[in-house]
Structure 1
Amino acid sequence: MSEDGYKGPAITADVTRDLYPNGRENVYILDVAAGTGMVGERLIKHGFVKVDALDPSQGMLDEAREKGVYQKFICAYFDGKEQNIPPDTYDAVVICGGCTNMHLPCDCLREVVRLVKPGGYFVMATRPFHLTTVDEYKGRFENLIDQIESEGKWTKIRKDTVPGYHGEHEGIVFVYKIN
């Protein structure tokens, strides 16, 4: 996808970099829907060294392993069920491109809150098109994000539209701080 003008991984890594101007070597990140490791590669270039990959495809994780950027590889669906990961493990969870064709259900957002330490961040990038056309997300995804915020579990830092996210298509980036 990188040859197809896909800038989502770079955008996700850049946003995460900007959240941590110092001490990136101590920031523990989970890359959900890590695929072949495109986001992980960019996070490492920004000075992050503690990055784990989670993806349901062992084949994708095997490709990611060859890049040598992840510490741990978790082959699992991020489907809203509790992962075999202790609560408050990560300083950040990043998701890039995971909200296409129902790869991730809306309920996975609650698991993000469980896994991220208070004061940590959730960064997600996708195309707004998916949030309005995929049945799982249409009228649900952003409502759930807002509901989680109204419950006091996280606070919106930003929600930005990004031109040129994938070719001529725009993207959307969500950043939330866990309370």
Structure 2
Amino acid sequence: MENIKAFDKYCQNTASKEDMTTYYDSWSSKYDQDLDAAGYRGPSMIAKALAELYPDTRENVHILDVASGTGLVGEQLAKQGFLLIDALDPSQGMIDKAKSKGVYKGMICAYFDEKELDIKAGSYDAITIVGACSAKHLTCGCLMEAVRLIKPGGFFLMSTRPLSLQSVEDKEPFETRMENIEKEGKWKCIRKEIVPRYLDKNDGVIFIYQIA
């Protein structure tokens, strides 16, 4: 857990997302070990939540795993029977580690923000984001890009620690922006749940939105 505490401190003190990416590059070789030691349950929780949305056939569900890191979420999705998973992360070190696990079809090394990616609108049935909503990570600008990339009727799933969500530096709180997107009629919240022991003894929060 000490490495996680050091990470949280670095997030607060680092100057830019580029510095954060460099940090992840250096952490990639020990990331899985550190998160396992910390009792990180976010990836399995989100994979289970998505599996509940697709109780029958899952092999044709196309998923974009945003901030995929070393592939912890991809591994859990694969265990649930999902086969078409793309990884997106700005850290080449993390992407290389994720690729070695053999659970992803596509590997995208890029930031996920307000800028449109070179990906056709409506390409995915679901987008997952686990643990990346904190200082110097994702900002509210990425949410509309998520809406653009998900097919109508598809799902946006996100989980994080509540304190991390509050640390996001943007024009408005992350959760407020999600609520405003719902008011605009672009998606609908179908689940918001506080979950215990998300990371060590810390609670987490899961959000699921369905695209209009």
What is the aligned counterpart of 2:177 among 144, 148, 163? 144
Distance 1:86 1:133 in 2: 31
- Is 80-89 or 126-135 further displaced after alignment? 126-135
Kindly indicate whether the alpha-carbon contact (under 8 Å) linking 1:102 and 1:136 is maintained by their aligned counterparts in 2: no
| Coordinate RMSD, CA, aligned | 1.1
For 1:68-83, what aligned pairs fall within 5 Å after superposition? 68-83=102-117
Cα deviation, 1:80-138, whole Å, max 9, x if unaligned, reads: 2101100000000000011122311111000000000000000000000112234338x
Query: Do the aligned partners of 1:158 and 1:176 also contact (CA within 8 Å) in 2?
Result: yes
Residue 3 (structure 2) aligns with: none
2:159 and 2:206 in contact (8 A); partners too: yes
Indicate which of 66, 74, 79 corresponds to 1:40. Answer: 74
SS in 2 for 1:63: helix
Question: Which amino acid in structure 2 is aligned with residue 178 of structure 1?
Answer: I
Cross-structure match for 1:168: 201
Where does 1:18-167 land on structure 2 (aligned, <5 Å)? 18-136=52-170, 139-167=172-200
Give the % identical residues. 53
Contact 1:89 1:115 (8 Å CA) reproduced: yes
Judge conservation of contact 2:64–2:126 (CA < 8 Å) in 1. Answer: yes
Could you tell me how far apart the structure 2 residues matched to 1:41 and 1:101 are? 26
Partner SS for 1:100: coil
d(CA) in 1 for partners of 2:134, 2:181: 21
Looking at structure 2, the residues matched to 135 and 61 of structure 1 have their Cα atoms a distance apart, in angstroms, of 25
Query: Partners of 2:107 and 2:47 in 1: how far apart?
Result: 19
**Structure 2 Cα separation of the partners of residues 132 and 48 of structure 1:** 31
Question: TM-score, length-normalised on structure 2?
Answer: 0.82
Q: Distance in 2 between matches of 1:100 and 1:2?
A: 20
SS of aligned partner of 2:166: helix
Normalising by structure 1, what TM-score?
0.96
Unaligned runs of 5+ in 2: 1-34
2:29 corresponds to: none
Provide the rounded CA distance (Å) in 1 between the counterparts of 2:99 and 2:165: 30
